[in-house]
A and B are shown apart, each in its own frame.
Chain A
């Protein structure tokens, strides 16, 4: 079996762990924090909601750190800054479901959304709208949330009955699982364009990656044989090949390490120090150079 396939299976174990940690009926993290550390919070996905936490921070409502949401939010912020969006790449079941679903659909039916429409300004625009919305008296928090929808669908599965879905759930499901999921190359279109949790973590990773002691994707031009396997395997399509240039969009990378395991020559690695992306040939995304090199 190819190394990339092996790693894909290995990665799926992380998502299963993520399911046991955050989702009903298990919610191990919430149960540990509530049961052992006596913190406040709910024993469902809302008890781990980073989105609610982010919204609370930006609307001046604040956030109590000694709650399940507060602790999980701190974990995501620190991990994103130091090692990149670890949660998205290793534990997020919602993102994984659409990614693995897309592997069941033949590629000829799939659209490379991220190549055609740059996700960076859109995902930060969505994050900005998400933060601004409560100030304007609008709430989009649970209505368009794929985590909430996933928990609903799982609870429906346990009773062998489809959960009651609202119009906003149905729209979210269509975008997340079908339009930007099964029929998108990589299957993580929803993550790329619509997830405010991912956008926040990528913003932190972008800043953190500038420091020498943080983990980031590193490129070795000497080892690269231009096979483009990394481009093909990247679920977020953060690596693209345009005009014979390998571009890397750090604003859209979930640090899942799939590219590292797809590369037969170890040209892509994760580690500390300089990332070695050649800024002269890099692509500009949202007014910011994101790294890239001729291949």
Chain B
């Protein structure tokens, strides 16, 4: 091997190690951003007050620059029907000052009426994604948005559970 080949090999190896390190660092960076998306689980029969708090200050710099007001809160593991009866679930967002898009990957979810048209058997669950569209001018408020997600049974009209949600900015001055 001549001197140029050895030099090229050293340069290439350095780039190789550098690239490996960059991807590992990118992984650590991603791990530091777990609070950028908020997930929750809800047992329909548990009436404990478990407020979901999303703190905008936990967003990464790119998110804060490009899209700070577009926030998603989803039920990662699901909304579980731990009652002993079949429930025809309706979801309603109350008291939130901004528009919220409530959606689900469950095919039985009717986006217009916010009703799961397929009855949820006891022990089964569904999922929900809430998307908030908060205007950029309000993103620096201490409390940006707060309200409640109300779950009711269409069959009986009973209120099954409520889930308070707060979007705050702990970094606001």
The interface of chain A, by Cβ under 8 A from chain B, is: 117-118, 120-126, 128-130, 132-133, 136, 138-140, 143-144, 162, 164-168, 170-171, 174, 193, 284-287
Contact = CB atoms under 8 A, between A and B. Distances in A.
A117 B24 CA distance: 21
Nearest to B64: A167
Contact of A125 (B5, B18, B30, B36): B18
- Is chain B's binding surface mostly helix, strand, loop or mixed? helix
Contact of A170 (B13, B30, B62): B62
A167 B33 contact: yes
Contact of B30 (A120, A132, A139, A164): A139
6 closest Cβ pairs, A-B complex: A125-B19, A129-B23, A167-B60, A138-B27, A170-B62, A121-B15
Contacts of A140: 23, 26-27, 30
Contacts of B22: 125-126, 129
Interface string B14-46: 111111111110111111010011000000000
Contacts of B19: 121-126, 128-129, 193
Interface of B: 4-5, 8-9, 11-24, 26-31, 33, 36-37, 59-63, 65-67, 70-72, 131
Contacts of B28: 138
Q: Which residue, B19, B62, B66, B131, has most C-beta atoms of chain A within 10 A?
A: B19
Contacts of B24: 129, 132-133, 136, 138
Given A121-B12, A121-B13, A168-B29, A132 B20 contact: yes
A165 B66 contact: yes
B30 A128 contact: no
A6 B29 CA distance: 44
24 contacts: A121-B13, A121-B19, A122-B15, A122-B19, A123-B19, A125-B15, A125-B16, A125-B23, A126-B22, A128-B20, A129-B27, A132-B20, A136-B27, A138-B30, A138-B31, A143-B27, A164-B131, A167-B62, A171-B62, A193-B19, A284-B4, A284-B9, A287-B9, A287-B12
